[in-house]
Structure 1
Amino acid sequence: MSLVPKHSANITTAAAAIASFLAGMDVLIVNVALPTIAKDLGGNMAVQQWVVDGYALLFAALLLLAGSLADQFGAKRIFLIGAASFGAASLFCMFAWSMAALVVGRCILGVASALLLPASMSLINEASPNPRYRAWALALWGAGGASASAVGPLLGGLLTPIHWSLVFAINVPFCLMILAAAPRIAPSPQRATKFDWIGQVLALVGLSTLVAGIIEVGDTGLSAPSTLILLAVGVAAIGAFGLSQTKVDSPMMPLGLFRVRGMQVALQIGFIMIFNWYGMAFICTMYLQQELHMDPFAAGLVFVPASFVTIMGNLTGGRIVTARGSKFSITLGLAIMIAGFLFEFFSPRPVAVWVVAAGMSIVGFGAAITTPAAAGVVLKSVVSSQAGIASAMFNTFRQVGGAIGVAVFGVAATFLPSLDLALRVVFLASALLLVYALGFELLRWKDTAITAATLDSVA
Structure 2
Amino acid sequence: MTKKTSPVPATAAAAIASFLSGMDVLIVNVALPTIASELGGDMAVQQWVVDGYTLLFAALLLLSGSLADRFGAKRVFMAGTALFGAASLFCSFAGSMAALVAGRCMLGVASALILPASMSLINEANPDPRRRAWALALWGAGGASASAVGPMLGGLLTPIHWSLVFVINMPFCLFILVIAPYIRMSPKRPARFDWVGQTLSLAGLAALVAGIIEVGSLGFAHPVTLLLLAMGVAALAAFAWSQSKVAAPMMPLGLFRVRGMQVALQIGFIMIFNWYGMVFICTMFLQNQLGMGAFAAGLVFVPSAFVTIVGNLVGGRIITARGSQFSITLGLCIMIIGFAFEFLSPTPIPVWAIATGLSVVGFGAAITTPAAAGVVLASVDGSQAGIASAMFNTFRQVGGAIGVAVFGVVATFVPSLDVALRSVFLASALLLVYTLAFEALRWRER
TM-score (norm 1): 0.92
What value does the CA root-mean-square deviation take over the aligned residues? Answer: 1.9
**How far has the Cα of 1:260 moved from its partner?**
2.7
Q: Greater shift after overlay, 238-247 or 432-441?
A: 432-441
Separation in 1 of the partners of 2:29 and 2:207?
Answer: 22
1: distance between equivalents of 2:163 and 2:347?
A: 35
Q: Which residue of 1 aligns with 2:238?
A: 240
Q: How many residues align?
A: 444
Match of 2:228 among 216, 227, 230: 230
1:132 and 1:322 in contact (8 A); partners too: no
Query: Hey, what does 2:119 align to over in structure 1?
Result: 121
> CA–CA distance in 1 between the matches of 2:392 and 2:102?
25
Residue 219 of structure 2: aligned partner? 221
Give the secondary structure class of the aligned counterpart of 1:250: coil
Aligned counterparts of 2:368 and 2:128: Cα–Cα separation in 1 = 21
Which residue is 2:155 aligned to?
Answer: 157
For residues 190-239 of structure 1, what are the alpha-carbon distances to aligned partners after superposition, in whole Å with 9 as ceiling and x for unaligned? Answer: 33121111111100110000000000000010000000000000000000
- Correspondence for 1:197: 195
Contact 1:90–1:171, Cα closer than 8 Å, also in 2: yes
Aligned to 2:351: 353
2:420 equivalent among 399, 419, 422: 422
**CA positional deviation for 1:84:** 1.4
Distance 2:109 2:347 in 1: 41
Aligned equivalents of 1:367, 1:284: Cα separation in 2: 18
Alignment equivalent of 2:295, drawn from 290, 297, 306:
297
Match of 1:367 among 360, 365, 368: 365
* Aligned residue in 2 for 1:400: 398
The CA deviation string for residues 412-446 of structure 1, in whole angstroms up to 9 with x for no partner, is 00000011111111111111111222222222123
Percent of pairs with identical residues: 78
- TM-score (ref. length: structure 2): 0.95
In structure 2, runs of 5+ residues without a counterpart are none
Go from structure 1 to structure 2 and tell me whether the alpha carbon gap of 1:384 and 1:128 turns closer, same or farther (over 3 Å shift): farther
Measure, in 2, the Cα distance between the counterparts of 1:301 and 1:6. 41
1:340–1:359 CA contact under 8 A, matched in 2? yes
Alignment correspondent of 2:173: 175
Query: Higher mean Cα deviation, 316-325 or 110-119?
Result: 316-325
- What's the offset of the Cα at 1:312? 1.2
Query: Does the CA contact (< 8 Å) of 2:6 and 2:125 recur in 1?
Result: no
Contact between 1:289 and 1:296, CA under 8 Å: does it hold in 2?
yes
CA distance in 2, matches of 1:261, 1:336: 23
Partner of 1:90: 88
Asked if the contact 1:63/1:118 (under 8 Å) is kept, the reply is yes
Q: Which amino acid aligns with 2:445?
A: D
Distance 1:88 1:327 in 2: 42
> Match of 1:440, SS?
helix
Deviations for 1:316-367, whole angstroms, at most 9, x for unmatched residues? 2222223332222222211111111111111121100001101011111111
Distance 1:188 1:322 in 2: 32
Structure 2 CA distance for partners of 1:262 and 1:277, relative to 1, 3 Å:
same
- Residue 348 of structure 1 aligns to a residue in which SS? coil
1:455 paired residue number: none
Report deviation, 1:240. 0.2
Q: How much does 1:128 deviate?
A: 5.1
Amino acid at match of 1:200: Q
**Partner Cα distance (2:123, 2:379) in 1:** 13
Question: 2 CA distance for matches of 1:7 and 1:321?
Answer: 30
For the residues of structure 2 that align with 1:243 and 1:436, how far apart are their CA atoms?
28
Equivalent residue for 1:62?
60
1:129 positional shift: 5.4
**Which of 409, 427, 434 is matched with 1:436 structurally?**
434
The aligned residue for residue 15 of structure 2 is 17
Q: Cα distance, 1:121 vs. partner?
A: 2.9
Q: Can you give the 5+ residue segments of structure 1 that lack an aligned partner in the other structure?
A: 449-459
Secondary structure at the aligned position of 1:243 is classed as: helix
